Amino acid sequence: MNEINLQLKKESELPLFQQLYDYFKQEIISGNCKKNEKMPSKRQLSAYLHCSQNTVQAAYYQLVAEGYLISREKSGYYVADLGNVLHIKEVPPKELLSPPEEGRIYYDFSYQGVDHDSFPFSIWRKLTKEGINEYDRDLLKAGDPKGDLGLRESIAHYLHYSRGVNCSAEQIIVSSGTEFLLQLLIQLFDANVVYGIENPGYEKLNMIFKSNRANCQPVALDDRGMRPDSLRESQASVACITPSHQFPTGTVMPVSRRIQLLNWANEAPERYLIEDDYDSEFRYSGKPIPSLQGMDETGRVIYLGAFSKSLSPALRVSYMVLPLHLLGEYEKKLRFYICPVPKIDQKTLCRFIDEGHFERHLNRMRNLYKQKRETIVAAIHKNLPQAEIQGDSAGLHLLLRVNNGWDEAELIDAALRKGVRVFGVTQYYFAPPQKNQESLLLLGFACLKIEEIETAVILLTQAWKNNGDAF
Amino acid sequence: MNEINLQLKKESELPLFQQLYDYFKQEIISGNCKKNEKMPSKRQLSAYLHCSQNTVQAAYYQLVAEGYLISREKSGYYVADLGNVLHIKEVPPKELLSPPEEGRIYYDFSYQGVDHDSFPFSIWRKLTKEGINEYDRDLLKAGDPKGDLGLRESIAHYLHYSRGVNCSAEQIIVSSGTEFLLQLLIQLFDANVVYGIENPGYEKLNMIFKSNRANCQPVALDDRGMRPDSLRESQASVACITPSHQFPTGTVMPVSRRIQLLNWANEAPERYLIEDDYDSEFRYSGKPIPSLQGMDETGRVIYLGAFSKSLSPALRVSYMVLPLHLLGEYEKKLRFYICPVPKIDQKTLCRFIDEGHFERHLNRMRNLYKQKRETIVAAIHKNLPQAEIQGDSAGLHLLLRVNNGWDEAELIDAALRKGVRVFGVTQYYFAPPQKNQESLLLLGFACLKIEEIETAVILLTQAWKNNGDAF
């Protein structure tokens, strides 16, 4: 290791570990630190730089996580072979409101992802560590194909008290992502079933049904959600809906429409509603509306849920609740599919729910996302007074009608040139939208920090000024 | 908590923690320990019983793992509500060779599962704990739909040096179980493709293809594996084979047959071979035969692999290697499917491979399974001299022809009555087997302990004596 030419600046805005990280990353990329070279120990380096060992630890962790260093057990840290580091990501500079570099995103209103800093890392680490337990003789076995009974019981209990879902653990099938659950349902139903999907709606639905050679038809919405007349016209016998918070429009389906759809389902024995309750945990005003499944007395509703929004999409845990008569079919035809969630993760999640951590986390997140939502709504009212907001009473995204006469592509491109990513709604249409529809944008707010939101909205304001093409 | 009427017996064969576990389990089941009651702390109990805190810890761990106790952070252990414990498993008694209770299995020659005690729990725990790292900003994001690049690079490297597979990380798709990979392939190929599957073969193949409404045809085997003439007759254009160790017959496909099948695939542009290399890590004699994929120069072979046998089926990690021209199709049509393996598990597995733990584990396991195989083969030769063994040069199971004139069902039932589970081969036939075929049994040996194997074989000998129906 060469001499270390670094003085940590305690008065800098940049945390010490970040300074250390930046320094070594540069040294490794430039080749000053050679591959396989041993790094100084945490003790040595902290003594040399007059910082804590924790600072060095954090920097080394980050360098390991990004593939610049390799940690060898009981030996120390070594410079990695950079041939293996394909994604060299630059740390975004800290200056705000300066012209961004071409194509760089500073603020991403993505509707995927969650607030990173609020994830209960230490509890999750503790539960996982305890779960990897040599005394648990079932830990290495494939386990119940529908998912571990303990986890299914925890989910059933949670669904009952928080979403009004009526079910036993037996009716729950744990899987990985909506796409895997829908594939199971397509195999469960007859090959010639027509599926009705919301238009606009979740973009993957269409892809999943097409890829599985199933017939799916777009069904029009109004301001209360899926239209029963359009559903009838579509000839669908299975309708996929998002009543808690329609994606992407944000409509919360009122009880009257729920009853209309349940009545539709009851008119013929082969009709079903697939209720995707993807972000129902986050509701900010009005009384919570229980799940459609909870209103269903005849076994017409299949309930889909997931931990993607409530915990993290990287956990890949979702589940469905089957009505009892479909459960019998499932056991007969599809029991050979093994639950894709690793046993350890199922155990961790089960304890996370059972010991009350999930409830506490949800309450914390609901408050945080409420604050984020209020911040973004206030920032839009203040900076974009002519714009209209829709669908913000629930969930982790809202819709914005900018009302400056620009079309969707112009709005998105101008925002991108300021380093801000927003999304158009057109991509969620499976059939062309009605004409005259003013362009609508989708803004997710889960991933942005509260203190970033107003800056991001100000950048959008600058981007969308009619004379704002100056740079 | 009532008084604790327990004296640990240090001279007992039963470990102390097990004695403690048995005692509290009984107290909880009987209701002497009431639900929500606080358990004594580890310190108190170890002082009272004159044992180490580790002993108490191990017993509490096990009771938590099985749902009898609940651990509350910073508070202690509490008796669980047994309404939630549905699977109360009894610890099997220790006496051997005494008549088993009705239906109880003492020795299970299952071919699923791995040797529990050899799993590298402490390394896995350490890597996982380090992976759950708040500084890793990508940890909560959904990540690359094909699987994290780091993990795919590790797998590519491993496949190259250990299995002779030619591929880059780009060609690898990480998923969860063969069934999910096959579903992707069915969607990738045309709807009218005919799939040829080995007969006998992996019982799920047939179910997966049928459930996905794909046409699959059984293809006959001979002593070198899938027969090219039968494959031609089947009209299949995609053939699923297990050349390293045919399931269930155990045949290792010789190079001549591999070339015949590659030639078949090269005769028409839409022909492919799906090579399932499910237990190729375990080969005990002769030179290792590299993968079929490594012999393929025209992109006709799709390689499937998994960590089920080499690490644990409960990890749910499998992968496939696509030829380049299929990869393009995959990216176009199926990229919307998100890798089902949780990000944390991908990171742990990646480091496990990169830091050399996987290689060490495989070498250890190969030796252990070799010993188990030698033990079972020797025990059969000694105790069942008239029986014949097949397919034992690789993998984690072998076939046994008992040659006592009984049929498969009689053999299995008699073994079960002695508390030993063995499997018949008939269930793996998708089309009826030829007549005159003497009954064959399948015996997996990965899960049994070395010291259990001879006892289990002796029990089989007793079970299969022609005058052995005495009890």
Report how far residue B331's alpha carbon sits from residue B145's, in angstroms, rounded to the nearest whole number.
10
Q: Between these two residues, B36 and B317, which has the higher pLDDT value?
A: B317
Selection from A10-19, A78-87, B350-359 with the highest mean pLDDT: B350-359
Check residue B315 and give its pLDDT: 94
Check residue B99 and give its pLDDT: 45
Find tokens 């409830």 and name the residue. A359
Mean pLDDT across B59-83: 78
- The beta-carbon neighbor of B125 closest among A84, A132, A313 is A132
Q: Which of A355, A358, A469, A337 is nearest to A411 (CA)?
A: A469
Indicate whether A97 pLDDT > 50: no
Neighbours of A35 (CB within 10 A): 14
Report strand pairing: B215-222 vs B194-199: parallel
CB-based contact A273:A299 (threshold 8 Å): no
Q: Which of B298, B304, B364 is nearest to B163 (CA)?
A: B304
Report how far residue A290's alpha carbon sits from residue A165's, in angstroms, rounded to the nearest whole number.
8
pLDDT classification of A307: cutoffs 50, 70, 90: very high
Report how far residue B462's alpha carbon sits from residue B464's, in angstroms, rounded to the nearest whole number.
6
Mean pLDDT across A457-466: 91
A173 chain-B contacts, CB cut-off 8 A: none
Selection from B44-58, B88-102, B213-227 with the highest mean pLDDT: B213-227
Structure tokens at B469: 């129906």
| pLDDT, averaged across chain B | 88
- For chain A, percent of residues with pLDDT exceeding 90: 64
- Give the minimum alpha-carbon distance from B126 to chain A in angstroms, rounded to a whole number: 8
Structure tokens at A412: 């998105």
Tallying the residues shown for chain B, one arrives at 471
Mean pLDDT across A121-149: 94
CB-based contact B305:B271 (threshold 8 Å): no
CB-based contact A44:A89 (threshold 8 Å): no
| pLDDT, averaged across chain A | 88
pLDDT classification of A300: cutoffs 50, 70, 90: very high
Mean pLDDT across B303-329: 95
Check residue A54 and give its pLDDT: 78
Cβ pairs A/B, distance under 8 A: 197
Mean pLDDT across A125-136: 94
Supply angle C-alpha B23, B24, B25, rounded to 5. 95
- The beta-carbon neighbor of A314 closest among B58, B64, B140 is B140
pLDDT classification of B90: cutoffs 50, 70, 90: very low
Check residue A409 and give its pLDDT: 92
pLDDT classification of B83: cutoffs 50, 70, 90: low
CB-based contact A261:A233 (threshold 8 Å): no
Indicate whether B468 pLDDT > 70: no
CB-based contact A169:A327 (threshold 8 Å): no
- Give the minimum alpha-carbon distance from B317 to chain A in angstroms, rounded to a whole number: 8
pLDDT per position as a tens digit, A200-241: 999 899 999 999 999 999 999 999 999 999 999 999 999 999
- Give the minimum alpha-carbon distance from B67 to chain A in angstroms, rounded to a whole number: 8
Q: Which residue of B has its CA nearest to A18?
A: B135
- Compute the half-sphere exposure of residue B121: CA atoms within 13 Å on the CB side of its CA: 17
- Compute the half-sphere exposure of residue A128: CA atoms within 13 Å on the CB side of its CA: 23
Indicate whether A436 pLDDT > 70: no
Beta-carbon separation of B62 and A208 below 8 A: no
Indicate whether A15 pLDDT > 80: no
Torsion angle of C-alpha atoms B102, B108, B110, B115, degrees rounded to 10 = 150
Among A129-143, A184-198, B33-47, B318-332, the minimum mean pLDDT is found in B33-47
Indicate whether B205 pLDDT > 70: yes
- Residue A252 gets which letter from DSSP? P
pLDDT classification of B104: cutoffs 50, 70, 90: confident
Instruction: Respond yes or no on whether the N-terminal peptide bond of residue A243 is cis (omega within 30° of 0).
Output: no
Beta-carbon separation of A119 and B142 below 8 A: no
Report how far residue A261's alpha carbon sits from residue A243's, in angstroms, rounded to the nearest whole number.
11
φ/ψ of B222, rounded to 5, equals -125, -160
Interface test mutation site (partner A, options B338, B347, B361, B428, max chain A beta carbons within 10 A)? B338
Q: Which residue of A has its CA nearest to B312?
A: A140
Report how far residue A273's alpha carbon sits from residue A370's, in angstroms, rounded to the nearest whole number.
30
Indicate whether B353 pLDDT > 60: yes
Check residue A48 and give its pLDDT: 85
φ/ψ of A65, rounded to 5, equals -60, -35
Mean pLDDT across A51-56: 84
- The beta-carbon neighbor of A345 closest among B71, B142, B345 is B345
Indicate whether A261 pLDDT > 70: yes
- The beta-carbon neighbor of A132 closest among B64, B121, B153 is B121
Check residue A282 and give its pLDDT: 87
Report how far residue B461's alpha carbon sits from residue A27's, in angstroms, rounded to the nearest whole number.
68
Q: Which residue of A has its CA nearest to B334?
A: A211
Among A416-425, B58-67, B335-344, the minimum mean pLDDT is found in B58-67
Check residue B95 and give its pLDDT: 33
Q: Which residue of B has its CA nearest to A133?
A: B121
Q: Which residue of A has its CA nearest to B132?
A: A125
pLDDT classification of B233: cutoffs 50, 70, 90: very high
Q: Which residue of B has its CA nearest to A111?
A: B141
A65 chain-B contacts, CB cut-off 8 A: 133, 135-136, 138
Q: Which residue of B has its CA nearest to A126?
A: B129
- The beta-carbon neighbor of B128 closest among A58, A128, A317 is A128
CB-based contact B267:B238 (threshold 8 Å): no
Residue type at B435 in one-letter notation: K
Check residue A79 and give its pLDDT: 87
Check residue B101 and give its pLDDT: 54
Helix/strand/coil (H/E/C) assignment for every residue in chain B: CCCCCCCCCCCCCCCHHHHHHHHHHHHHHHCCCCCCCECCCHHHHHHHHCCCHHHHHHHHHHHHHCCCEEEECCCEEEECCHHHCCCCCCCCCCCCCCCCCCCCCCEECCCCCCCHHHCCHHHHHHHHHHHCCCCCCCCCCCCCCCCCHHHHHHHHHHHHHHHCCCCCHHHEEEECCHHHHHHHHHHHCCCCCEEEEEECCCHHHHHHHHHCCCEEEEEEEECCEECHHHHHHCCCCEEEECCCCCCCCCCCCCHHHHHHHHHHHHCCCCCEEEEECCCCCCECCCCCCCCCHHHCCCCCEEEEEECCCCCCHHHCCEEEECCHHHHHHHHHHCCCCCCCCCHHHHHHHHHHHHCCHHHHHHHHHHHHHHHHHHHHHHHHHHHCCCCEEECCCECCEEEEECCCCCCHHHHHHHHHHCCEECEECHHHCCCCCCCCCCCCEEEECCCCCHHHHHHHHHHHHHHCCCCCCCC
Beta-carbon separation of A342 and B316 below 8 A: yes
- Give the minimum alpha-carbon distance from B169 to chain A in angstroms, rounded to a whole number: 11
C-alpha distances out from residue A198 to A19, A206, A448, A464, Å: 49, 10, 28, 30
Residues whose CB is less than 8 angstroms from the CB of residue B295 and which lie 6 or more positions away in sequence, other chains included: B255, B258, B259, B262
First CA to last CA across chain A, in angstroms?
Answer: 45
- The beta-carbon neighbor of B312 closest among A71, A140, A149 is A140
Beta-carbon separation of B176 and A84 below 8 A: no
Check residue B248 and give its pLDDT: 92
Beta-carbon separation of B132 and A112 below 8 A: no
Interface test mutation site (partner A, options B77, B79, B211, B278, max chain A beta carbons within 10 A)? B211
Mean pLDDT across A63-77: 78
**pTM across the whole model:** 0.78
Report how far residue A210's alpha carbon sits from residue A214's, in angstroms, rounded to the nearest whole number.
6
- For chain B, percent of residues with pLDDT exceeding 90: 64
ipTM of the complex: 0.77
Residues whose CB is less than 8 angstroms from the CB of residue A329 and which lie 6 or more positions away in sequence, other chains included: A188
Beta-carbon separation of B314 and A143 below 8 A: yes
Check residue A360 and give its pLDDT: 93
- Give the minimum alpha-carbon distance from A347 to chain B in angstroms, rounded to a whole number: 9
pLDDT classification of B436: cutoffs 50, 70, 90: low
B149 chain-A contacts, CB cut-off 8 A: 86-87
Selection from A88-97, A149-158, A248-257 with the highest mean pLDDT: A149-158
Neighbours of A410 (CB within 10 A): 15
Beta-carbon separation of B135 and A62 below 8 A: yes
Interface test mutation site (partner B, options A135, A190, A331, max chain B beta carbons within 10 A)? A135
Report how far residue A133's alpha carbon sits from residue B462's, in angstroms, rounded to the nearest whole number.
37
Among A68-82, A187-201, A234-248, A330-344, the minimum mean pLDDT is found in A68-82
- The beta-carbon neighbor of A177 closest among B58, B139, B340 is B340
Residue type at A380 in one-letter notation: I
B337 chain-A contacts, CB cut-off 8 A: 177, 179
pLDDT classification of B96: cutoffs 50, 70, 90: very low
Check residue B66 and give its pLDDT: 61
Beta-carbon separation of B191 and A211 below 8 A: no
pLDDT per position as a tens digit, B147-174: 999 999 999 999 998 889 999 999 999 9
